[in-house]
A and B are shown apart, each in its own frame.
Chain A
């Protein structure tokens, strides 16, 4: 019998969208030089007008952050900073439904992900770092490590609120103040976070949020009043930021692109490995820097795994991101859809075999079906370049040594996955894979206690865990460039 699921949309009414949003500077929402529109990528409907922060707005924000740093935040006892962070964490939990719906509207990701992953992890990051605020002397960076000052943070559109948490929570816990620039296409949850800061009575200027495009980010990174830059985004922009920060005295951490290998051995738990492959590349429409975009499967089980993968992909539910049963949402922007389409065309042209899940695409909005390329070689562009979309390239290997060689054969090194029932092989692989995170029999699992970051062109510095604190403290190895 056919069992269709009736539409089960989460209610939009839990969020009150304003017509226009200002910049969050010095604890207030203020106007700026010009405005731009943010749309829902699922419908192309305009959600709100957002202020574009120009250089003078960045100036004001940095000045507010400096003042808050010097007069309030850096001199406040850690346990009091912790209280604010705990308060913010609880407010995020209280307003979780609102945040999840807004994230889904602005980003296009399924409500199931924003509800079950993004928002709970965001709260968890604040709770975790709230706990560190009065224990920094025990973090291994000396008896009383000092904050750095004002931090400029530029974050991407794939996990707007979660990336905010990864940046803001450790910075604040360590006693820094921040000026945050959210991504151009996804500013709304950051602005709602500004409201949460007000609700938490966070001292004005500790958190400042300046929305805008690349030029706003440029103005922030180049600003002389910034002591540290933290960036998550593309390797291309990361390179430019590294150049801008060179010999400026600014500390820098970068979390950039990836082309992660998800390695499946012939003794893997097949059903869970297939889930892990799906979760690795189709989670968040593949808009994940650590996505398992290269499946390396042992040749002896390649056919079996691929068949199971296609069967599983055929059950993926693509569509309205607000529907609670949607597994795959919208591509975040027209520009990203074009980039994915280009790379997929290159895959076709270079002779790889394309298969897409048979799911109908909505007429409006930006959509791409979950796609697998087989007969891919290491030389193909789709095997080398980050697609940042729901597109998986499948390669095979014969021996563990070959798997390591192929997995490491990339300029990136952010994450990797290993699937085998053999514990010793997991350890053998993990010690040889050049990746910041190696997942064993799972993929795309995050925890605030676990450091995250890359090797090689995937960036440097760690976020999360004790290691992540180092990037926001004036101690040895703080990432000077």
Chain B
């Protein structure tokens, strides 16, 4: 079955449910065991150097706080442009919609993308027209990427069609902006649901599927990301587009980041080892990567006080 066929809107909840529930199940014990094995890979010397720079170039440097201000976002953009210590710039900055104009100015001419959360982030609890207005305002202000949240309430009650239709509508409102669909896997409960939500989002037109808002624990985990990587791999192999994956939240150390890269390398494979198809949503991660980078270069730990807090 080609996805061109599947791209035609589903007629009913029932037909969509039949498709999603017809996907192969995920055995949680097995998925966790696989993630554990991959987490035990030992990445040293040259490959560690390569992984650190790759991870930095994949970061969506994020601030999503009620207390965010233009000054905070300007500082974030400065760090995104020049992380320091010879490190490459990050992939994007990720902020709330009202701060998009500040971020656009802050990264102008650098190739760094501006990603804005939208659709009544993080809960997603608003009427559809409110969500779409949220998206349109972010895009109008110059956002390159929109990070939307799915309606978990509808998903968990089995009303897949409204979730699907909402993603389709948001995608339509994105114009040229890339759409990242946040599944909020910490609220989905099972890896079966993660696989179904991944496919639902991909079929509805997502460019990226993203684990979490960062506001719910657990946020990104290796087993969840493994299942999502399997989903994008299978979707592409089945004739669909290559969809990106973005684990977000709780990724704080260089070791964490390298584990995600190993997962990508041995699940979806080389094409996904690219900021166009894999991102790490994080804030404090960047400094740990920089610290490890300095250590690889000088042979000494410099300590967190030498890394700028922005």
Chain A residues with CB under 8 Å of chain B are 1-8, 112, 116, 267-272, 275-276, 315, 324-325, 421, 441-442
User: Mostly helix, strand, loop or mixed at chain B's interface?
Assistant: helix
Assess the A442–B47 pair: CB atoms within 8 A. no
Assess the A270–B24 pair: CB atoms within 8 A. yes
Stretch touching chain A among B33-41, B70-78, B120-128: B33-41
B105 at the interface (CB under 8 A from A): no
Q: Which residues from chain B contact A269 at a C-beta distance below 8 Å?
A: 24-27, 30
Assess the A1–B27 pair: CB atoms within 8 A. no
Which of A1, A5, A8 has a CB less than 8 Å from the CB of B270?
A1
Could you tell me the distance in whole angstroms from the C-beta of A159 to the nearest C-beta in chain B? Answer: 19
Assess the A3–B30 pair: CB atoms within 8 A. no
Assess the A8–B24 pair: CB atoms within 8 A. no
Which of B30, B47, B265, B266 has a CB less than 8 Å from the CB of A441?
B30
User: In the complex the two chains form, what is the Cα distance from A1 to B53 in whole Å?
Assistant: 12
Could you tell me the distance in whole angstroms from the C-beta of B5 to the nearest C-beta in chain A? Answer: 18
Q: Which residues from chain B contact A442 at a C-beta distance below 8 Å?
A: 29-30
Q: Which residues from chain B contact A7 at a C-beta distance below 8 Å?
A: 44
Assess the B274–A116 pair: CB atoms within 8 A. no
Could you tell me the distance in whole angstroms from the C-beta of B131 to the nearest C-beta in chain A? Answer: 33
Assess the A421–B25 pair: CB atoms within 8 A. yes
Assess the B270–A6 pair: CB atoms within 8 A. no
Beyond A271-B230, A421-B25, is A5–B41 a contact (Cβ under 8 Å)? yes
Which of A268, A271, A315 has a CB less than 8 Å from the CB of B266?
A315
Assess the A8–B54 pair: CB atoms within 8 A. no
Assess the A3–B42 pair: CB atoms within 8 A. no
**Chain B interface residue number, banded:** 20 to 34
B46 at the interface (CB under 8 A from A): yes
Q: Which of B165-189 contact A (CB under 8 A)?
A: none
B51 at the interface (CB under 8 A from A): yes
Beyond A268-B24, A269-B24, A421-B25, is A275–B47 a contact (Cβ under 8 Å)? no
Assess the B29–A271 pair: CB atoms within 8 A. no
A-B contact pairs, 23 of them (CB 8 A): A1-B274, A3-B51, A3-B54, A5-B43, A6-B44, A6-B46, A6-B47, A7-B44, A112-B40, A267-B25, A268-B24, A268-B25, A269-B30, A271-B31, A271-B34, A271-B230, A272-B26, A272-B27, A275-B30, A275-B33, A276-B30, A441-B27, A441-B30
Q: Which residues from chain A contact B48 at a C-beta distance below 8 Å?
A: 6
Q: Which of B228-284 contact A (CB under 8 A)?
A: 230, 261-262, 265-266, 270, 273-274
User: In the complex the two chains form, what is the Cα distance from A442 to B30 in whole Å?
Assistant: 7
Assess the A325–B41 pair: CB atoms within 8 A. yes
User: In the complex the two chains form, what is the Cα distance from A2 to B40 in whole Å?
Assistant: 20
Assess the A271–B24 pair: CB atoms within 8 A. yes
Known: A5-B42, A6-B43. 20 other contacts (CB 8 A): A1-B273, A2-B270, A3-B47, A3-B50, A3-B54, A5-B43, A6-B46, A6-B47, A7-B44, A8-B44, A112-B40, A268-B25, A269-B25, A270-B24, A271-B34, A272-B30, A272-B34, A441-B29, A441-B30, A442-B30
Could you tell me the distance in whole angstroms from the C-beta of B9 to the nearest C-beta in chain A? Answer: 27
